Amino acid sequence: MAKKRILTGDRPTGLLHLGHYVGSLANRVRLQDEYECFFIIADLHTLTTKPSREDIACLADNARHMVLDYLACGIDPAKSVIYLQSAVHEVCELDLIFEMLVTVPRLNRVPSIKEMARSANLSELPFGLLGYPVLQAADILLPRAHLVPVGKDNESHVELTREIARRFNSMYGAEIFPVPDVMLGEVPTLVGTDGAAKMSKSLGNAIMLCDDAKTVEKKVMSMYTDPNRVRSDIPGRVKGNPVFIYHDSFNPDRDEVDDLKSRYAKGKVGDVEVKQKLAKALNAFLEPLRERRAAYEGRRGYVDEIIYDGTQIMRAEARKTLEAATKAMGLSAVWNRISRKAEETKKKQAAAGGGGSGE
């Protein structure tokens, strides 16, 4: 039986961080053998909040860095397709088709959109930003994916994708699209180093996958912990405390973590020790990623080739899906009928030795 498919990806807005890893990347790496994977470099999605020439000029290099992060994490281009969204034009056509299957009030209820507008300092919602999750539905359904590993902020987008897939299939009486499932990461939303709800590049509260050991240490030592704990002999709060959330996610030494937690709760350990052990655990986790990254960085042109090859594969898939979808809709028949007739007429005219029409 053919393998089921995964589609997920990221906007090329900069380097990836620990939040991306626990939210989505870890699942991607884990499921590479079980699923046929498509990873999208969603550059068109960046236009929704960053449409300037200067922003666009950064996309190619951002995409390369992002793919290096993928490879560093263990994504294997021999198994998985990595492609550039803006080079697969069919996504725009599918997006337009899907736009007819969703209402504006429904899009207004997608919680992440207003959040994105706010963080991009946009007082009014651009049409394209409102349509962000519709374009994402087109991304997911173009390779007809069954599973979408993403972080919590993307859950509502996959829900909308499911609605669109069902709507399309029932409206046009054909099972063209699977109704994809969402898969949240082990930590659906990783907190930032400053204690803000979400680690995010734009908030400057992120530990990057390619940060060096010194940088990680510096970021960890200045992390937000329990604000009420002004001295280390005061019992601290473990639950919801970012340093322990990170320990839980990245420190494989369960005994050490349990010991730190119980001493913290009793006021028997200083923040410094908790943080030093966290920095050590994080660096141990990141070291193999750094090594892999460096090895790939040494191979000039390799990343571009990966994106190039992946995009060719995705283009072929996209054509197949769009053909099936427009056929089910009867849309492709419109041009087919007209063009067939026109070609027949032209042939007849040529056979009669006539010139153009009207003669």
Return residues touching ligand ATP (CB under 6 A). Answer: 10-11, 13, 19-20, 22-24, 150-151, 153-154, 185, 189-190, 198-202
Give the torsion sign (CA, 86, 90, 92, 94). Answer: negative
Token pair 């087919």: residue: 336
Minimal distance in Å, beta carbon 172 to ligand ATP? 29
d(CA 219, CA 217): 6
Q: Which is nearer to ligand ATP, 27 or 321 (CB)?
A: 27
Q: Are 156 and 111 in contact (CB under 8 A)?
A: yes
Q: Which is nearer to ligand ATP, 169 or 200 (CB)?
A: 200
Q: Residue 166: in which H helix or E strand, if any?
A: helix 155-171
d(CA 239, CA 129): 35
Q: Which is nearer to ligand ATP, 132 or 296 (CB)?
A: 132
Minimal distance in Å, beta carbon 109 to ligand ATP? 18
d(CA 235, CA 49): 44
Q: Which is nearer to ligand ATP, 22 or 322 (CB)?
A: 22
The residues pairing with 239 across neighbouring beta strands, listed in sequence order, are none
d(CA 192, CA 18): 9
Minimal distance in Å, beta carbon 103 to ligand ATP? 24
Minimal distance in Å, beta carbon 187 to ligand ATP? 6
Minimal distance in Å, beta carbon 142 to ligand ATP? 17
- From the number of C-beta atoms within 10 Å of its C-beta (0-12, 13-18, 19+), residue 263 rates as middle
- Give 327's contacts (C-beta < 8 A, 6+ positions apart): 333
Q: Please give the residue whose beta carbon sits closest to ligand ATP in the complex.
A: 23
Minimal distance in Å, beta carbon 323 to ligand ATP? 29
Minimal distance in Å, beta carbon 345 to ligand ATP? 50
Q: Which is nearer to ligand ATP, 10 or 69 (CB)?
A: 10
Burial code (b: 16+ CB inside 10 Å, e: under 16) for 169-190 equals beebeeebbbebebbbbebebb
Minimal distance in Å, beta carbon 155 to ligand ATP? 8
Minimal distance in Å, beta carbon 5 to ligand ATP? 17
Q: Which is nearer to ligand ATP, 85 or 154 (CB)?
A: 154
d(CA 183, CA 197): 20
Q: Helix 302-329 to helix 90-99 angle, to the nearest 10 degrees?
A: 40
Q: Which is nearer to ligand ATP, 201 or 320 (CB)?
A: 201
Give the torsion sign (CA, 63, 69, 72, 75). Answer: negative
User: In the Cβ-directed half-sphere of 316, how many Cα atoms lie within 13 Å?
Assistant: 6
Q: Which is nearer to ligand ATP, 188 or 270 (CB)?
A: 188
Q: Which of 42, 25, 133 shows the shortest CA–CA distance to 80?
A: 25
Q: Which is nearer to ligand ATP, 97 or 223 (CB)?
A: 223
